Amino acid sequence: MAPQDRLTGELLRVEGLTVSYGDHQVVTDVGFSLRRGESLALIGESGSGKSTIARSVLRLLPRGVGRATGTVEFEGQEILSLSERRFRPLRGRRIGFVPQDPGNSLNPVRTIGVQAQEAAALIGEKGPEVVLETFDQVGLDNPRRVYDSYPHQLSGGMLQRVLIGLTVLPRPALIVADEPTSALDVTIQKRILDLLSQLRQDLNISLLLITHDLAIAAERADSLVVLKDGVVQEAGSTASVFSAPSSEYARKLHADVPALNPDRYQHLRDSDRPVGEPPRIEVRGVSKTFTVDGKVLTAVDDVSFSVAPGTTHALVGESGSGKTTTIRLLLGLEEPDSGSITVAGEEVTRRSHASLRSVRRHLQLVYQNPFTSLDPLWTVKRLVGESLDRYRVGDRDERVREALDSVGLSQDLLSRRPTALSGGQRQRVALARALVLRPDVIVLDEPTSALDVSVQAGIVEVMLTLQASLGLTYVFVSHDLALVRQLAHTVSVMRQGRIVESGPVAAVLDNPQEPYTRALVDSIPAGADPVAGGVS
Amino acid sequence: MKYALRRVLQAVVVVLLAYVFTFVVISVLPGDPVTNTLRNPQNGFSEEEIQRIVAYYGLDRPVHEQLWQSLSRFVVGDLGVSLRSGLPVSRLISEVLSSTLVLAASALGVALVLAFAIGFGTQYLPKRYGQGLLRAFPSLFLSVPNFVIGLLLINVFAFQLGLFRVIDSEGGLATLFAAIALGIPVSARIAEVLVANLDHESAEEYASVARSRGLGRTGLLLRHLLKPSSLPVVTVVALAVGELLGGAVITEQIFGRTGIGSLVERSVTTQDLPVLQAVVTLAAIVFVGVNLIADLVYPLLDPRVRLGESRSRPKVEVAA
């Protein structure tokens, strides 16, 4: 290898990579190459095979199940055919790995220090000094405390810093990062990605970034490989793929990312709405405290907002901000300590069970995760029709069909069970289930956060079409500001149980007054180039 | 601390309840100890002695008064006097207790060694050949009763190979083989849980991440998988103590050992009620005690339980 190759040459070359689990082929004839010091993003939705490719490069496919063929060349050496014994010295030392969910990526019953020492041992260091130095370098405030902690004592963001620290500690030439931020809150996402970019520059490490988020990839990678069902759809420099996507799929993906298309649904959002009517939802001075282990926790602190009929109000905040408690109060699942909530002129708080039932009929909920919120043993017909039985509504079959129609599901699915449906279909069933009683208000608790972007786009479109045609009022809980910008009319930003800022979406997001809101807005990945990204 | 105190109080209440329950069950059994045992000419009690024992246990008074009398003696550590031999029950028990404890402890040792050997083997042997065989062991061990294993061991090692003598069998080798017979079914329970947990833990994401730091199979097993996989074993061992005590009675008979087992057998056939009452209560104390220790020790072993809100041991995962 020529000397300049060591600095700028090709580091990783993948050619004709095909991976199968048993008889099931998940990656077909994939090829790409990554030069030293550069970064490449593998983009795709669930099932695209992107994580499988990452694991093939690290040779961490499930033992005895996954089989990879083709060529993976790292620093000029074919590594796919190496024996485990000859490959193992490369792991950690030359190729590092940053996993997706920091919460389950460290051994829960061993201290961080014990696990960090494994990384230090790769470069022959026995003492804690190197580890503490690295923790400091990745921005952990109290390295000693982190070193002595167990994983469950640290937050997700801190754990990801630890894991990144352990990965860069042996100074590898390549880092494979598999969705390194998708399990983290948005403001932390940005900080973690910034950290990765900076370490990469300082230490001249190449990055193979696996992500579903086109906007993140565009912001962080030099070149992109777009995958679908294990096949490369398009590859090239970020700028070219972004400004002129040549494949159908890349174009669709680009159109479906909320951060890149803030005005996509403007025509639906701005449809005619009755003017001068009283608010459909009115929340006034609501507080709620919980007592946990003798300590009083204020989950919701003097929260007020109102929502006009036929509009969408977004509740935005990170985990622990009080969003979920607020909607539980709104739905009458929890009694507030003080304050009042009215929906369509009727008081929700301080009511008997029986009278709450009549309010709930006009107030429906769609849960976050359609993979856990639908009883797997029930058919679609029974799931959607359940509330009709509860409220003894006649001509049920007719109403169920109508609800399925309105969310764009075929009647053929009536006898299916949730396990035979895709994630998007499931969430449409959940939406149909909420619609079947013809409510005025639907509360949506992060309805798309468990779904792929293209599936999300479908759900959002259905939601907005329904709102325009039926005059529904939505309360939309989300941590995704880009999505909020696309579909909401008004927004309340919550932090530690309080509303820190509230108003029309455009006003709040374009000109945030509070530092916290600004941090949230800044954390929206902007894409490669604002002009090419379609930000008007 | 408050938690520990509450658990200790609970344990005391359970032991007292066990005592009362045993007493009631024994009282409602048919047969009168006075006519059957005391007045049995073989035992050679004089009329005076009989009167004294009857008065001591209040045998001529109603059952609830007998219970109260017996319970108040138990609380201060007085276990009463054997109806058959006239000796204090505490002395009879202490004579044989050590032999049973040695047997049970060795059996537990055998069980742990076997279980961990099976557990490690499943992680090391090639999937297709060795593992399948090894994974069949626990169900095999469970389906053969320990007296069958005991008789097999005696037949092969005592009669055919002459390694130990069945009569006068308190020697080291004899104890070892008795412990093997008693320990094998227990090892199956431990191995089942251990194998299931090793499989579960090695499929966890943190195991992959640890491998990405360059750890090999042994490093992964010893540094990462062993501890979380062994934690549920604490629970299984605590529960297996009951099995060890019950199995010891049978095993002692088969191997001709004197111990709690032979004492129980004698007391049952002669209706020596105070001894029976004491042995059952003793078993309850051991069982409750071991589980109490397991509950109190667990938080020290598992940092998640130590600081988490849930104080109880997590549920044990068993292979499907």
CATH number at residue B212: 1.10.3720.10
For residue B206, give the nearest of A96, A100, A106 by CB distance: A106
The verdict on B56 and B109 lying in the same domain is: no
Contact residues, chain B, for A64 at CB < 8 Å: 127
The verdict on B180 and B52 lying in the same domain is: no
Inter-chain CB proximity A118 and B205 less than 8 Å: no
Measured distance between the N- and C-terminal CA atoms of chain B, rounded to whole angstroms: 37
Inter-chain CB proximity A109 and B223 less than 8 Å: no
Give the Cα separation of A60 and A176 in Å (integer).
12
Shortest Cα distance, chain A CAs vs residue B313, angstroms: 14
**Cβ–Cβ pairs < 8 A, chains A and B:** 81
Among A41-55, B13-27, B122-136, B196-210, name the one with the lowest average pLDDT.
Answer: B122-136
- The whole-number pLDDT of residue A269 equals 79
Inter-chain CB proximity B209 and A153 less than 8 Å: no
- The whole-number pLDDT of residue A476 equals 94
Both tokens of A338, joined, read: 């003080």
The verdict on B35 and B179 lying in the same domain is: no
The verdict on B70 and B175 lying in the same domain is: no
Query: What confidence category does residue B128 fall into, taking pLDDT thresholds of 50, 70 and 90?
Result: low
Show the domain range for B47: 2-75
Inter-chain CB proximity A104 and B206 less than 8 Å: yes
- The whole-number pLDDT of residue B166 equals 66
Contact residues, chain B, for A95 at CB < 8 Å: 212
Inter-chain CB proximity B231 and A115 less than 8 Å: no
Q: Which domains are delineated in chain A?
A: 3-249 (3.40.50.300), 375-438 (1.20.1580.10)
In a domain, B237, yes or no: yes
Return the sign of the alpha-carbon dihedral for residues A431, A404, A382, A397: positive
Q: Residue-wise over A209-243: b if at least 16 C-beta within 10 A, else e? A: bbbbbbbbbbbbbbbbbbbbebebbbbbebeebbe
Inter-chain CB proximity A60 and B208 less than 8 Å: yes
Number of domains in chain B: 2
Contact residues, chain B, for A149 at CB < 8 Å: none
Shortest Cα distance, chain A CAs vs residue B302, angstroms: 6
Interface of B with A (CB under 8 A): 127, 203-206, 208-216, 219, 223-224, 227-228, 231, 301-304, 307-309
Give the Cα separation of B228 and A115 in Å (integer).
14
Query: What confidence category does residue B135 fall into, taking pLDDT thresholds of 50, 70 and 90?
Result: confident
Phi/psi for A356 (5° steps) reads: -65, -35
- The whole-number pLDDT of residue B296 equals 87
In a domain, B252, yes or no: yes
Q: List Cα–Cα distances, B192 to A11, A383, A427, B231, B318, in angstroms.
A: 46, 39, 39, 13, 6
- The whole-number pLDDT of residue A287 equals 93
Q: In which residue are the tokens 């009452």 written?
A: B277
Give the nearest chain A residue to B229 (CA atoms): A109
The verdict on B30 and B105 lying in the same domain is: no
In a domain, B317, yes or no: no
Averaged pLDDT, B222-240:
90
Domain boundary among B75, B103, B126: B75
Q: Count the residues in chain B.
A: 320
Cβ–Cβ under 8 Å, residues B272 and B37 = yes
The verdict on B216 and B71 lying in the same domain is: no
In a domain, B242, yes or no: yes
The verdict on B40 and B105 lying in the same domain is: no
Which of residues B41 and A319 earns the better pLDDT score? A319
Q: Provide the residue type at A78 as one letter.
A: E
Contact residues, chain A, for B206 at CB < 8 Å: 104-108
Inter-chain CB proximity B228 and A109 less than 8 Å: yes
B52 C-beta neighbours (distance < 10 Å), count? 14
Inter-chain CB proximity A118 and B304 less than 8 Å: no
- A205 Cβ neighbours under 8 A, 6+ residues apart: A37, A96, A168, A171, A172, A173, A174, A175, A199
Both tokens of A233, joined, read: 């759809």
* Residue B262: pLDDT over 50: yes
Inter-chain CB proximity B224 and A107 less than 8 Å: yes
Q: Provide the residue type at A464 as one letter.
A: L
Domain boundary among B11, B42, B75: B75
Strand order in the sheet with A39-43: A95-98, A174-178, A206-211, A39-43, A223-228, A231-237
Query: What confidence category does residue B306 fall into, taking pLDDT thresholds of 50, 70 and 90?
Result: low
Do the strands A490-495 and A312-316 form a parallel or antiparallel pair, or are they unpaired? parallel
Return the axis-axis angle of helices B2-28 and B273-301, rounded to nearest 10°: 160
Give the Cα separation of A382 and A417 in Å (integer).
9
Contact residues, chain B, for A163 at CB < 8 Å: 209
Which of residues A468 and B55 earns the better pLDDT score? A468
Helices (H), chain B: 2-28, 33, 47-57, 63-75, 89-124, 132-143, 146-153, 172-202, 205-212, 217-219, 226-254, 260-269, 273-301, 303-307
- The whole-number pLDDT of residue A261 equals 83
The verdict on B144 and B28 lying in the same domain is: no
DSSP secondary structure, A189-258, as one string: HHHHHHHHHHHHHHHT-EEEEEES-HHHHHHH-SEEEEEETTEEEEEEEHHHHHHS--SHHHHHHHHH-G
Question: What's the burial of B62, exposed, middle or buried (CB within 10 Å: 0-12/13-18/19+)?
Answer: exposed
HEC profile for B212-242? Answer: HCCCCHHHHHHHHHHHHHHHHHHHHHHHHHH
- The whole-number pLDDT of residue B312 equals 47
Give the nearest chain A residue to B230 (CA atoms): A109
Give the nearest chain B residue to A110 (CA atoms): B224
In a domain, B82, yes or no: no
The verdict on B135 and B198 lying in the same domain is: yes
DSSP conformational letter for A494: E
Inter-chain CB proximity B212 and A91 less than 8 Å: yes
Contact residues, chain B, for A152 at CB < 8 Å: 303-304, 307-308
HSE-CB at A104 with a 13 A cutoff on CA atoms is 9
Inter-chain CB proximity B210 and A115 less than 8 Å: yes
In a domain, B81, yes or no: no
Which of residues A321 and B38 earns the better pLDDT score? A321
- DSSP element (H, E) containing A78: strand A77-78
Give the Cα separation of A161 and A173 in Å (integer).
19
ipTM score for this prediction: 0.77
Contact residues, chain B, for A92 at CB < 8 Å: 212-214
Averaged pLDDT, B106-132:
86
Contact residues, chain A, for B214 at CB < 8 Å: 88-89, 91-93, 118, 122
Give the Cα separation of B65 and A450 in Å (integer).
67
The verdict on B68 and B182 lying in the same domain is: no
pLDDT tens digits, chain A, 536 residues: what are they? Answer: 444 455 568 899 999 999 998 888 999 999 999 999 899 999 988 888 898 999 999 998 877 778 899 999 999 899 998 888 899 999 999 999 999 888 899 999 999 999 999 999 999 888 899 999 999 988 888 999 999 999 988 888 899 999 999 999 999 999 999 988 887 777 788 888 999 999 888 889 999 999 988 888 888 999 999 999 999 999 999 988 888 888 998 888 888 888 888 888 888 877 766 667 888 999 999 999 988 777 888 899 999 999 999 999 999 988 788 898 999 999 888 889 999 999 888 888 888 877 888 888 888 999 888 888 899 999 999 999 988 888 877 788 888 999 999 998 988 899 999 888 888 899 999 999 999 988 999 999 988 887 888 888 889 999 999 998 888 999 999 888 889 999 999 999 999 899 999 999 989 999 999 998 998 888 887 764 443 333 33
Shortest Cα distance, chain A CAs vs residue B232, angstroms: 13
Q: Provide the residue type at A143 as one letter.
A: P
* Residue B320: pLDDT over 50: no
B218 C-beta neighbours (distance < 10 Å), count? 11
- The whole-number pLDDT of residue A176 equals 95
Interface of A with B (CB under 8 A): 55, 58, 60, 62-64, 88-89, 91-93, 95-97, 99-101, 104-110, 114-115, 118-119, 122, 150, 152-153, 163, 166, 292-293
For residue B212, give the nearest of A58, A101, A150 by CB distance: A58
Inter-chain CB proximity A88 and B308 less than 8 Å: no
DSSP conformational letter for A151: G
Inter-chain CB proximity B303 and A104 less than 8 Å: no
Question: What's the burial of A141, exposed, middle or buried (CB within 10 Å: 0-12/13-18/19+)?
Answer: exposed
Inter-chain CB proximity B219 and A97 less than 8 Å: no
Give the nearest chain B residue to A115 (CA atoms): B210
Query: What confidence category does residue B307 fall into, taking pLDDT thresholds of 50, 70 and 90?
Result: very low
Give the Cα separation of A99 and B212 in Å (integer).
10
Contact residues, chain A, for B131 at CB < 8 Å: none
Give me the percent of chain B exceeding a pLDDT of 90: 20
Give the nearest chain A residue to B126 (CA atoms): A64
In a domain, B232, yes or no: yes
Q: Alpha-carbon dihedral of residues B70, B75, B81, B82, nearest 10 degrees? A: 80
Shortest Cα distance, chain A CAs vs residue B137, angstroms: 22
Q: Provide the residue type at B41 as one letter.
A: P
- A80 Cβ neighbours under 8 A, 6+ residues apart: A56, A59, A68, A69, A70, A71, A72
Q: Assign A283 to helix, strand or coil.
A: strand
Which of residues A526 and B145 earns the better pLDDT score? B145
Give the nearest chain A residue to B300 (CA atoms): A109
In a domain, B104, yes or no: yes
The verdict on B70 and B107 lying in the same domain is: no
Inter-chain CB proximity A109 and B303 less than 8 Å: yes
The verdict on B38 and B126 lying in the same domain is: no
Contact residues, chain B, for A159 at CB < 8 Å: none
Domain boundary among B34, B52, B75: B75
